[in-house]
A and B are shown apart, each in its own frame.
Chain A
C-alpha cells in the first residue's frame, strides 16, 4: 500500500512528462509535485509516533521506516529534477542558487540532513547506534522545519499551504513536547522502567 502511494506520484509524472500532459511548463510541474510529496511523506513519518500515542494504534510504528524512506526518495527526485531537468547540470548556477537563494539553501540543507537518516535506517545501524540513533533521527524535525521554510520562501503570494504545513509540524512537535514533559514528571516514581525506542 505504501509502496503504491510512494511510487505513484513519480510514475504519474514520468508518464505525463513523456506524453506531454503536464501543462505548459512540465519541468516546473515535476519539481513542484515531487516537492509536495516529499514534504507530505516527511510530515507523515513524523506523525507516526504522535498518532500512535494519541490513538493507541501501535502497529502504525512498523510503517514509519518505509514512510521516512519514501520522504527521502521524493526529496531526492525533487532535487535531481531541479539539477538535471531545470538547471540541466549547470553547476555554476546550481552552486549560486545553493549559496545565495535562501529557499534553496534551506531545501538543500534539509536534503543533506536527511541523508544520514536514510543511511542509518537499517536494523544493523539501529543496533550499532543504540541510544544515539534516536538522537540522530530527531534531525527529521529540523529537516521538516527547513522543508516548510523552503516552501514558504518559494511561493510568491499563496502562503496557505506552507502555513498549513508549518501548523501541522508545530502540532506534531507539541504532542512530543507534552509527552516528554509528562514522562519527565512521571520518571522519578519509576526510574527503572523507561520504555525503549519509539
Chain B
C-alpha cells in the first residue's frame, strides 16, 4: 500500500517556516532575549512554554547564544554535506543523492522495548506535532552552520516504543542500498567503513528535549543530501552523531558500536560531544569556521548548549569519554 506521506512542508507548516517568518522569529527571539531575558528566549527556541530547562538558561551566555542564531544560507546547508554513501567529496551528496528513494519509507523500532514495530514513515511521524528548531550544527571537521529544522522530539518515539528497564542505549541505522548509493558501492573496496552507517545515544541523551528527529529544513522537505526523509539532530554533539536517512532504531543494554568510533576509535568516541578543550588528534577543536564566513570563531563547550545538557555528563571525564 502506498501511503501519501504528510510532508513537513505541507500547509500550514510551510507558512510558519517561510524565510521572512524566520527573520521575524529571530528578531522575536532576540527581543525576548534582551527584554525578558534568556529564559524566555530559550523556552521559545525549544517551542515549550514552561520547559524545566528554561530555569537553567538565565545566563548572559545563553542570551547571546540565542541572539546569534542567524541561519546559514540554504544553498550552503544543502551543497556541503558529508554523506559518504553518496561520495566522499563535500559536493558529492548534492550531486548523487537524487537517486535515494524516500517514498515509501519504513522505520523499524526494535530491541529492548515493549512496543517493537515496523512503521511506514507517515505512521511514524504523524502522532507528533511538527515544530521548528533553529540549532547550531558543528561538524567534527571544524566547520559549522545554523540550520532551521522542522521535525519533532526524539523522545516522542521513544515513549511510544516504551523501552524496558534493561534498555540503556538506543542505536540508529541509515539505509544501505548500493543500488541507490553507487558512490558508496564503488568506494566500498575501502574496508574501514562497514555499511550501513550506525550511530547511537545513551537513553537519557536520547530523551533530552533538545534531541530531535528532523523531517525538513527551511520549511521544505528534507533534501536527500541532508538525510531525507528522517534524520537525527543532536545539536550539542559533532554532526556525524546526527545520523541521516534512518531506517532502524534499536534499544540495547550495551553501548552500541557506531561507525566512526569503530573506524578510528582514537579519533571519534561514542559520546563525541562538542568540546573545544579536547582536540581531534589531527586538528584543534578550539575554533570553527561558520560556513559563509572567512574568519574562524571560538567553539563553545557542548556547542553552546551546556546550560541545557551539561548535567548529562556530570562526573564524567570528558577527555576520556570524548
Q: What residues of chain A have their CB less than 8 Å away from a CB belonging to chain B? A: 23-25, 27-28, 85, 87-88, 90, 93, 96-97, 100-103, 153-154, 156-160
Mask: chain B, 183-227; 1 = CB below 8 Å from A; 0 = not: 000010010110000000000000000000000000000000000
Question: In the complex, what residues of B have CB within 8 A of residue A25's CB?
Answer: 80, 90, 143, 289, 291
Within 8 A of A (CB), among B65-124: 75-76, 79-80, 84, 88, 90-91
CB contact between B80 and one of A23, A87, A88, A93 (< 8 Å): that residue: A23
Interface Cβ pair total, 8 Å cutoff? 52
CB contact between B292 and one of A24, A28, A90 (< 8 Å): that residue: A24
Question: In the complex, what residues of B have CB within 8 A of residue A100's CB?
Answer: 279
Q: Could you tell me if B284 and A96 are in contact, using CB atoms closer than 8 angstroms?
A: yes
Give Cα distance in the complex from A179 to B166, angstroms.
68
Question: In the complex, what residues of B have CB within 8 A of residue A27's CB?
Answer: 289, 294
Q: Could you tell me if B187 and A24 are in contact, using CB atoms closer than 8 angstroms?
A: no
Q: Is B263 an interface residue (CB 8 A)?
A: yes
Question: In the complex, what residues of A have CB within 8 A of residue B190's CB?
Answer: 157-160
Give Cα distance in the complex from A90 to B286, angstroms.
13
- A109 to B: closest C-beta gap in Å: 16
Q: Could you tell me if B187 and A160 are in contact, using CB atoms closer than 8 angstroms?
A: yes
Give Cα distance in the complex from A6 to B143, angstroms.
30
Query: Could you list 23 examples of A-B contacts with CB < 8 Å?
Result: A23-B79, A23-B90, A24-B75, A24-B80, A24-B90, A24-B292, A25-B80, A25-B90, A25-B143, A27-B289, A88-B294, A90-B296, A93-B284, A93-B287, A97-B284, A101-B282, A101-B283, A153-B282, A157-B88, A157-B190, A157-B192, A157-B193, A158-B187
Question: In the complex, what residues of A have CB within 8 A of residue B193's CB?
Answer: 157
Q: Could you tell me if B291 and A154 are in contact, using CB atoms closer than 8 angstroms?
A: no
- B213 to A: closest C-beta gap in Å: 25
- A31 to B: closest C-beta gap in Å: 12
Give Cα distance in the complex from A180 to B282, angstroms.
38
CB contact between B263 and one of A87, A153, A157 (< 8 Å): that residue: A157
Question: In the complex, what residues of B have CB within 8 A of residue A156's CB?
Answer: 141
Give Cα distance in the complex from A28 to B295, angstroms.
12
Q: Given A23-B79, A24-B76, A27-B289, answer yes or no on A157-B84 (Cβ-Cβ < 8 Å).
A: yes
Give Cα distance in the complex from A156 to B192, angstroms.
11
Q: Could you tell me if A88 and B263 are in contact, using CB atoms closer than 8 angstroms?
A: no
- B71 to A: closest C-beta gap in Å: 14
- B140 to A: closest C-beta gap in Å: 9
Chain A residue at minimum C-beta to C-beta distance from B263:
A157
Give Cα distance in the complex from A153 to B283, angstroms.
11
Within 8 A of A (CB), among B231-281: 263, 279
- B199 to A: closest C-beta gap in Å: 16
Chain B CB within 10 Å — which of A85, A93, A96, A156 has the most?
A156
Give Cα distance in the complex from A27 to B80, angstroms.
13
Q: Given A23-B80, A25-B80, A158-B88, answer yes or no on A88-B296 (Cβ-Cβ < 8 Å).
A: yes
Give Cα distance in the complex from A156 to B84, angstroms.
11
Chain B residue at minimum C-beta to C-beta distance from A26:
B294
Sorted nearest first, the 5 A-B pairs with minimum C-beta distance are A24-B80, A158-B88, A24-B76, A24-B291, A101-B282
Q: Given A27-B289, A160-B190, answer yes or no on A154-B282 (Cβ-Cβ < 8 Å).
A: yes
Give Cα distance in the complex from A25 to B75, angstroms.
12
Q: Could you tell me if B143 and A23 are in contact, using CB atoms closer than 8 angstroms?
A: no
Question: In the complex, what residues of A have CB within 8 A of residue B90's CB?
Answer: 23-25
Question: In the complex, what residues of B have CB within 8 A of residue A160's CB?
Answer: 187, 190
Give Cα distance in the complex from A154 to B291, angstroms.
20
Q: Could you tell me if A24 and B192 are in contact, using CB atoms closer than 8 angstroms?
A: no
Chain A residue at minimum C-beta to C-beta distance from B140:
A156
Give Cα distance in the complex from A23 to B289, angstroms.
14
Question: In the complex, what residues of B have CB within 8 A of residue A85's CB?
Answer: 294
Chain A residue at minimum C-beta to C-beta distance from B268:
A156
Question: In the complex, what residues of A have CB within 8 A of residue B295's CB?
Answer: 88
Question: In the complex, what residues of B have CB within 8 A of residue A101's CB?
Answer: 282-284
Known pairs A24-B79, A88-B295, A101-B283; list 6 more (Cβ under 8 Å).
Answer: A25-B143, A25-B291, A88-B296, A93-B287, A157-B192, A159-B190
Give Cα distance in the complex from A147 to B131, angstroms.
49
Question: In the complex, what residues of A have CB within 8 A of residue B192's CB?
Answer: 157
Question: In the complex, what residues of B have CB within 8 A of residue A97's CB?
Answer: 283-284
Give Cα distance in the complex from A90 to B76, angstroms.
26
Give Cα distance in the complex from A103 to B187, angstroms.
24
Q: Could you tell me if A102 and B291 are in contact, using CB atoms closer than 8 angstroms?
A: no
Q: Could you tell me if B91 and A23 are in contact, using CB atoms closer than 8 angstroms?
A: yes
